[in-house]
Amino acid sequence: MLTNSLAKNSSYVPFLIIVVGPTAAGKSGLALQLAERLNGVILGADSRQIYREFDIGTAKPSLAEQQRVPHYLVDICKPTETLTVADYQAKAQALIQQIHVGQIQVPLLVGGTGLYVNAIAKGLIIPRVAPQPTLRQQLTNLGQPQCYAFLQQVDPAAAQRIHPNDAVRTLRALEVYYATGRSISAQQGENPPTYPLIYIGLDCGEHLRQRITKRTRHMIDAGFVVEVEYLINRYGMDLPLLDTLGYAEIKRHLNGEITLDEAIILIIRHTQQFAKRQRTWFRKVNGVEWFDSNDSELFAKVWDYLVAQGLKREQNRLLGVPPSSLSGNS
């Protein structure tokens, strides 16, 4: 049994299960089942679920689900606060280390924010530069074409990686440069974890649109419009989080710009586009074992794969193969 290796003995090898895939693919549901079977805990890897009060539109695990299995890195920030990727990484790494030291639980990193996953799985070395609101506003006022031209001058390597229309990453790269005097490229790198990574990827191909449509309508039925109205009344129209997927479309509806039906259509369309980008991102990750989330035997197949990975680790431990050479770290 995979869980036998979790006992406190000399054979214990700490590891991390990572569940990834596009939005609405069923990551949370599978992770709950796995965590219950493994005596596991779930570490969220979603850049919006970290914020309190943003619940329905982020498909945040319900209170009942959070009571079934311990969830961390969910509801850890006020909507008006900023949590950088470096902050997230530090919190996640500390939790994983704590769980590994205890040797009685299995950590599962679950979510669709690729940068959060990479921060842990690759051990990204991230410049710890706090957001510079004044500088960002000055750069924003210049426009993206001018900002990208600046980036090409001060950090050509970053400009090669960042799309000319990607204002968020362009601003961040310039922010780091002007705050430290050194390019973000010169301050980045990787320090991968030494423990094994087991990647589980979920996808559902042509059925994803149906799942997105169903989830969007469920959000509306669950009170998404009321949630957005409450957040606007409490934090104001200019709260940046209200310009993210789902919230931006409902905000336009509440402003009288579009009907609710039009907002729903836009949410579905934009979510599909977002899911396509997620799929492209995660398909490039080495070591991911992909499963069809519509498979009636999904859990059984994933469990068999995890058991096989556990046996492989035990066999390699006996042969003296270091953990960092296994699974997703190979």
Domains identified in the chain and CATH numbers: 2-124+191-207+279-325 (3.40.50.300), 133-187 (1.10.20.140)
- 199 forms beta bridges with 18, 288
DSSP string for residues in 25-46: SSHHHHHHHHHHHHTEEEEE--
* pLDDT tens digits for range 8-56: 444 567 899 999 999 999 999 999 999 999 999 999 999 999 999 999 9
In the structure, what pLDDT confidence band is assigned to residue 310 with cuts at 50, 70 and 90? confident
pLDDT at 311 over 70: no
- 44 forms beta bridges with 110
Reported pTM: 0.84
Mean pLDDT of the chain: 90
What integer is the mean pLDDT of 267-283?
96
pLDDT at 244 over 90: yes
In the structure, what pLDDT confidence band is assigned to residue 5 with cuts at 50, 70 and 90? very low
Output the pLDDT for position 13. 74
Cα separation of 183 and 173, whole Å? 7
Cα separation of 98 and 109, whole Å? 14
pLDDT at 227 over 70: yes
DSSP 304: H
Strands, E assignment, the chain:
16-20, 40-44, 71-72, 106-110, 124-125, 189-190, 197-203, 288-292
In the structure, what pLDDT confidence band is assigned to residue 214 with cuts at 50, 70 and 90? very high
pLDDT at 305 over 90: yes
Q: Could you report how far apart the first and last alpha carbons of the chain are, in Å? A: 24
Angle at 125 between CA 119 and CA 127, to 5 degrees: 110
Output the pLDDT for position 22. 97
pLDDT at 280 over 60: yes
In the structure, what pLDDT confidence band is assigned to residue 205 with cuts at 50, 70 and 90? confident
- Which of 142, 158, 198 lies closest to 323, judged by CA? 198
Output the pLDDT for position 93. 97
Q: Taking the CA atoms of the chain, what radius of gyration do you get in angstroms?
A: 21
Q: Are 95 and 73 in contact (CB under 8 A)?
A: yes
In the structure, what pLDDT confidence band is assigned to residue 103 with cuts at 50, 70 and 90? confident
What integer is the mean pLDDT of 138-151?
94
Contacts of 310 (CB under 8 A, 6+ apart): 2, 5
